[in-house]
Structure 1
């Protein structure tokens, strides 16, 4: 009997989407991000800006009027809308 194959360590998501429930711009941003992640083999995490268990209150205060906000590799990338060309370019760097 052979040992199971080791699984590769989980690669952290390069994209973080700060959103809030019921936000139509967040819904649109999520669609763009999901499409590009599928295309490029990337992943993303989504954080609810209003959930204190997910987002620090200072971060919420700073970004609440710019939702959705996207970060790529830890740096703020876009807010309000996600430009698919810019996102693709950032992920290919």
Structure 2
């Protein structure tokens, strides 16, 4: 389950960056809103999957509430899920 969460975390981070730095600038600076809908939908689905998997893993791996909330908040910040994937989940990965 942790491996799936790491993949979703990476994809969610990429979708957030694509939304903020590709789709939104195209909409507002080039008057081309075509990418907002598909990128926004992908990001929304990945965000929901990220939060659901984080909640499942919170109880499965017995994360503290602080760690859980930090992992959830990281999904709202650009590059936050990359930090979670590479730093905060290192101790949960079996050797």
TM-score normalised by the chain length of structure 1 = 0.27
**Greater percentage in strand:** 1
Higher alpha-carbon Rg: 1
Q: Which has the higher helix share?
A: 2
> Could you tell me the TM-score, scaled by structure 2's length?
0.27
